[in-house]
Structure formats: C-alpha cells, structure tokens
Amino acid sequence: MVWFIVDDGFSSSPKVLGIPRSDRMAAVGLWTTAGSWCAKHLTDGRVPGFMLDEWGAEQGSAKHLLASGLWEESEGGFFFHDWEGWQRTRSEIEEKRDAERERKRLYREKLAGQKGKAPDDLSHGTEAGHDVGHQRVSAPPNQALPIPTEPTLIDKNIGTASRPEVLQLCQLLQQLIVENGSKKPNITNRWLTEARVMLDKDGRELEAAVRLIRWCQQNPFWRANIMSMPKFRAQYDQLRLAAEAERIARVKPGRQTPTERAAATLTLATEIDMKGIGS
C-alpha cells in the first residue's frame, strides 16, 4: 500500500485559499482523489484527462487547480506540481519492494540451509516481528512531514539518524546538482547541520526551502554558484529575492497571483467579521 501525503498546512496554504471559495471544496476534492489514485498506480503525479469523467469531476475544478499552481498541464492531462518533493516516486517504491523481496529470498535460503530443505510453512517471525512470506500490514506514515527519499551518498563518518526534513533538503539539493551534470556531492555533517539550523534557528519553512532549492538549481546563474547546503543557507535571502523578482516579472499586468488572491480573500473575510462585530 502506498500513501498519499497531505501536509497539515495544506488547507490554509495560499494556493488553496487562492481558489474561489464557492469552487474550493470541489477543486480540493479532485486534487485529493487524483493524488490517492496517482499514489496507488505509481504515476509520479501524472493524471490522465479522461479520469476526470471517471471521478465525476468538473473541468472547472481542474482549471482552478491549474490557476492556483497545484497542478500543471501536460499532454493528455495534468500533473501535480512538485510531486517528487512531497511524495515517494515510482522508482523509490519499486526499489524498496525489490529490497524487501530480496530480504525474504535470503531468509528462505538461510532457513532452508538450517533445516536441509525449503520450509513448507514460512510462518517463523523475523527479527522485525513480521511473518516471512506474509504481506505486511502497512501503517500510516507520519503526517507531520513529507516522506523523504532514502539517504544516498551520505558521508560514512556520520549517521543517518537526522530528522527526515533535514535529510529531505540535503538529498533534494544533492539530486538536483547531479541532474545539472555536476559530480554527486557527499552529504556531510556540515550539510546536515546547516539544513537543521536553517529550519530551526533561521525560521525557514520547509516547503519554501524546497521550492527555493528547485528554483536556484533551474536558474542558469545560481545553479553554478549554489553547489552545497552551507552555500544555499548563506545565500537564502538573495535567492528568495531573486526568485520573487523573477515571479513578478512573469505576472501579466492586472492579473492577480494565487498569493494575491489569497490575501484578498483573507482581507474580505476580516472585513466581514469586523462588520458582524460592529452590528
């Protein structure tokens, strides 16, 4: 079983609040249904257009998801924005399943060697407390944080017991540096420390940091200058301002961004509350 992760701040995020209130619940319902379907079928966040009819969803809901930035348009359908930043990918899930099958195979071979023959009943518990040969009961993931990818190329001199969100940031930057054609950097103690301090002491939000890492590694100038987590933390505000300037330059005159629509919605709600208090 694969779980579709929804952050506890999703309902109050600017993207969600940017959807018109009268259409918000239908759009969010479509987003959630599509997310669970993508997780089950391992599509890495891709949603075929014909599935909207299957779910009984309106095209207007899809348009709101596109306008808010929760979805992006693709040939023949849609795909979730930043799926790999919050959900496990197909390759990660298949790799974990392959490792589990290999673990069971090795256990059977070991058991067969001890008894001189392959066991007929594979019901002996493993050290993890699960019966070999039986499907494990999947437990819900920690809903407080997105599930990170498995640690890769972490310095052998350090442990892997860092907080999931700290590892997630380091592994994301490591992955994008490699995708840009550079040598794969090690995740060192300093990387982990800088990511942790950035979240705890600097007060950076996890989702904002993920977005900024992706932006800087797509920008021709900044991807050549941000090649480590310490450098990313040191340049965070410069990166944030540069990303915001680029976003503003792309916005058409007279067109509200999702954040601006969210701010307008909150302002209107406050005005209504104040009128109610004064009446």
pTM: 0.41
Amino acid residing at 169: L
Q: Per-residue pLDDT for 22 more than 70?
A: yes
Asked whether residue 26 is domain-assigned, the answer is yes
The token pair that represents 104 in the structure block: 């069971």
Does residue 178 share a domain with residue 102? no
End-to-end C-alpha distance for the chain, whole angstroms:
53
Other beta carbons within 10 Å of 60: 13
Does residue 111 share a domain with residue 226? no
Residues 30/57, Cβ–Cβ less than 8 Å: yes
What pLDDT, on a 0 to 100 scale, did the predictor assign at position 114?
78
Does residue 185 share a domain with residue 155? yes
Question: CA-to-CA distance for 97 and 137, rounded, in angstroms?
Answer: 14
- Nearest by Cα to 193 from 225, 157, 229, 164: 229
On average, the pLDDT of the chain sits at: 81
Question: CA-to-CA distance for 140 and 126, rounded, in angstroms?
Answer: 21
Query: For the sheet containing 46-48, what is the strand order?
Result: 46-48, 77-80, 71-74
Domain total in the chain: 3
Q: Per-residue pLDDT for 134 more than 50?
A: no
Does residue 14 share a domain with residue 47? yes
Band of pLDDT at residue 246, cut at 50, 70 and 90: confident
Does residue 240 share a domain with residue 163? yes
Band of pLDDT at residue 123, cut at 50, 70 and 90: very low
Q: Give residue 155's Cα distance to chain centre.
A: 24
CA angle 137, 140, 146 (to 5 degrees): 135
Band of pLDDT at residue 268, cut at 50, 70 and 90: low
Does residue 257 share a domain with residue 172? yes
Give residue-wise pLDDT tens across range 175-220.
999 999 999 999 999 999 999 999 999 999 999 999 999 999 999 9
Does residue 104 share a domain with residue 37? no
Asked whether residue 141 is domain-assigned, the answer is no
What pLDDT, on a 0 to 100 scale, did the predictor assign at position 252?
55
Band of pLDDT at residue 159, cut at 50, 70 and 90: very low
Does residue 82 share a domain with residue 98? no
Asked whether residue 4 is domain-assigned, the answer is no
Q: Collapsing DSSP states into helix, strand and coil, what is residue 185?
A: coil
What pLDDT, on a 0 to 100 scale, did the predictor assign at position 127?
45
Q: Per-residue pLDDT for 221 more than 70?
A: yes
Question: CA-to-CA distance for 15 and 35, rounded, in angstroms?
Answer: 16
Which range marks the domain in which residue 53 is found?
A: 10-86
- The pairing of beta strand 77-80 with beta strand 46-48: antiparallel
Does residue 243 share a domain with residue 128? no
Q: Per-residue pLDDT for 25 more than 70?
A: yes
